Amino acid sequence: MTNSDGVRRRDFLKGVSVAAASSAMVVAQEKEHGSPSAGKKSASRSNVKISRSNVKISLMLNGKKKAFDIDSRTTLVDLLRENEHMTGTKKGCDHGACGACTVHVNGSRVLSCLTLAATIDGEQVATIEGISDGETLHPLQNAFLRCDAYQCGYCTPGQIMSGIACIEEGHAEKSPGEAREWMSGNLCRCSAYPNILAAVRQTAGAEPISDPAMPMSRKTEEAL
């Protein structure tokens, strides 16, 4: 069979086969004897030096001034856990999706796994370790105990830090739906959400102080 240019199909296929075989031979020889270009690439890679810039920052950490000399890429969660050994702030997803790393910066909740420590130089940082007054627990910590608002406890520090912010922002004392929405960035794999919500709303004064596991009176149910 011949096309309009006078090239037979059989001859064309033979030419393609020869070209493919030649390419395979060249690749095999380079693997066996080494390619000059590959040698140049490996030599240039060996001369590459990775430079890491350090920065000096200071933070008011739970009311105490702290100075740090850190890699500029250090996240706040790593600074707290690795440099300060404050392991109350949990490292969960490391992508800002679970809320376990929630802390307060200047009174606002932030995800510390997405916050570069170098960007908050001179700011005030509050963590779960700093919310109690000595041996006296924060009211929300007491509410978590009373409402049994935890199971494994891994998400609890982040839930409490978000809960405190939710109350201070005025979202917890309105409807349960609004409080739930503003706490939705904190995940609980154990699904203790009803108890967490109850603890937050009770602390805000939006619900009577009680144990959610105990049956309510009809009057209390109607009030809610």
pLDDT band per the 50, 70, 90 thresholds, residue 211: confident
Which top CATH class is 132-224? mainly alpha
Common-topology check for domains 51-130 and 132-224: no
Instruction: Please give the full DSSP string across the chain, using - where no structure is assigned.
Output: -B-TTS-BHHHHHHHHHHHHHHHHHHHHHHHHH--HHHHHHHHHHHT------EEEEEEEETTEEEEEEEETT-BHHHIIIIIS--TTS--SSSSSSS-TTEEEETTEEEEGGG-BGGGGTT-EEE-GGGSSBTTBPPHHHHHHHHHT--SS-SSHHHHHHHHHHHHHTT-SSS-HHHHHHHTTTS--TT--HHHHHHHHHHHHTSS-S--TTSPPPHHHHHH-
Domain boundaries, the chain: 9-46, 51-130, 132-224
Q: pLDDT tens digits, residue range 189-203?
A: 999 999 999 999 999
51-130: CATH, from 3.10.20.30, 1.10.3720.10, 3.40.50.300, 3.50.50.60: 3.10.20.30
Q: pLDDT tens digits, residue range 114-143?
A: 999 999 999 999 999 999 999 999 999 999
For residues 74, 79, 81 and 83, what is the CA-based torsion angle, rounded to 10 degrees?
110
Average pLDDT over residues 160-175: 97
d(CA 159, CA 207) in angstroms, rounded, equals: 18
Q: pLDDT tens digits, residue range 28-82?
A: 565 666 555 555 555 555 565 556 799 999 999 999 999 999 999 999 999 999 9
Would you state the structure tokens that stand for residue 19, as one six-digit string? 């070209």
Candidate from 8-17, 37-46, 143-152, 177-186 with smallest mean pLDDT = 37-46
* pLDDT at position 16 over 80: no
